[in-house]
Amino acid sequence: MTTVGVETGSYAEQSVTNDLAISAALSGVAVADLTRFGRIRVTGDDRSQFLHNQTTAKFDSLTEGEGCDTVFVTPTARTIDIAHAWIMKNAIMLLVSPSTGISISEMLQKYIFYADKVEVHDISKQTCFFVLVGPKSNEVMKALKLDDLIGKPYGTHRHYTVDGMPVTIGVGSVLCRDGFSFLLSPSSSRAVWKVLLNLGAIPMDANTWERLRVLQGRPAPGKELTHDFNVLEAGLWDAVSLDKGCYKGQETIARLITYGGVKQKLWGIKLSGAAEPGSSITIVEDGKKVGVLTSYSIGREEGEHLGLGYVKKQVGLGEQVCIGDVLGTLVDVPFLSHPPSVTP
């Protein structure tokens, strides 16, 4: 079921609606239907250790009601996807990107050994997933009388009812640590969606969500998360445990840190105009190629443009670059994290 989306006729009407949703997400409150994302339920006595061994987060230190971001990587630390995980009483729920749900489920099945007490279930069709985004998300939670989650650590989640419908709500909105996420059944989704709209949340469609993703700087599979770039270059340090034991990709990540193997960095790029992803990024002064543009979006306001792109680590914040005839400036974006040791 897809509940999101305001039916509008012309492109101009859609643009106004999209701008309103972006403004709400950045200064008010918006709600997005992420039911198209994948949801994977991992059960069994060995589930925490299993995911601890398969992803970058430290699952063995998490307990029921907590959550985190974690990254699926290849043995050579190339990025597959970011997953948002909730530790529940009898399971761990993973939210993954729309394009990776099936492949990650299959990959996890492949790594279950005979003696492992682990089961992997794709629950995407049995559930829906909404997110509240924006600084006024807390006001919606207060109106729902669910304000006990406000101020709790990222990933904290609890079971509630909204308009009499059961729903699990967690801290964080996938794109940022603020906001809230709602896991619920298809049968209750329409009623809960209506409640959120009645409390002032502005609906955000898939195209506008993609625009917000670029503005926030969250890497996406097939764009920033590919076999061409490793998890540290992708700016996902906050989702990588550097002190846990062996896991897939761990040896490569350790070598990257020890021997300075992080050669490039994902940046936001403030642009003077529209630019095509896949285009080369060059230095203004000498025309030398230093990277590649991976995503592009119009900005928050009319006339603003923003991209994401990988750039050699010698090129730093505020550097002037070109993407074809378009000028750009490297800027920080909220989602990405980098330790001081790899910041130019």
Spell out the domain ranges in the chain. Answer: 11-35+127-215, 38-125, 263-344
**What is the reported pLDDT for 16?**
60
Query: 11-35+127-215 adopts what CATH topology?
Result: Gyrase A; domain 2 (3.30.1360)
Cβ-Cβ contacts under 8 Å for 325 (sequence gap 6 or more): 273
CATH 2.40.30.110 applies to domain 263-344: yes
Q: Tokens for 16, please give them.
A: 């106004």
User: Is residue 340 pLDDT above 60, yes or no?
Assistant: no
User: Is residue 282 pLDDT above 80, yes or no?
Assistant: yes
Measured CA to CA, the distance from residue 42 to residue 90 in angstroms comes to 9
- How far CA 164 is from CA of 1, 61, 125, 132, in Å, comes to 20, 34, 22, 19
Query: How large is the average pLDDT for residues 98-119?
Result: 96
User: Is residue 343 pLDDT above 70, yes or no?
Assistant: no
pLDDT of 16-67, one tens digit each?
Answer: 678 999 999 999 999 999 999 999 999 999 999 999 999 999 999 999 999 9
Measured CA to CA, the distance from residue 92 to residue 40 in angstroms comes to 8
pLDDT of 142-167, one tens digit each?
Answer: 999 999 999 999 999 999 999 899 99
What residue ranges in the chain does DSSP mark as E strands? 30-33, 38-43, 67-73, 79-87, 91-96, 119-122, 128-133, 157-162, 165-171, 180-184, 202-204, 264-271, 280-283, 289-298, 305-312, 320-323, 326-331
**What is the reported pLDDT for 196?**
97
Q: What is the pTM of this model?
A: 0.92
Q: Determine which helix (DSSP H) or strand (DSSP E) holds 108, and give its type and residue range.
A: helix 101-110
Most distant CA atoms of the chain, gap in Å: 63
Chain centroid, CA 167 distance in Å: 21
Contact between 18 and 25 (Cβ < 8 Å): no
Query: 38-125 adopts what CATH topology?
Result: Alpha-Beta Plaits (3.30.70)
**Mean pLDDT of the residues in the chain:** 92
Find residue 271's DSSP bridge partners.
305, 328
φ/ψ bin of 134: left (φ > 0), alpha (ψ from -120 to 50), beta (otherwise): left
Token pair 């009407």 is at which residue? 13
State phi, psi for 289 to the nearest 5 degrees. -70, 130
User: Is residue 8 pLDDT above 50, yes or no?
Assistant: no
Measured CA to CA, the distance from residue 42 to residue 157 in angstroms comes to 17
Higher confidence at residue 258 or residue 5? Answer: 258
Measured CA to CA, the distance from residue 3 to residue 182 in angstroms comes to 14
Find residue 122's DSSP bridge partners.
40
| pLDDT-above-90 percentage for the chain | 87
Is there a shared CATH topology between the 38-125 domain and the 263-344 domain? no
Measured CA to CA, the distance from residue 305 to residue 214 in angstroms comes to 10
Residue 137 pLDDT class (50, 70, 90 cuts): very high
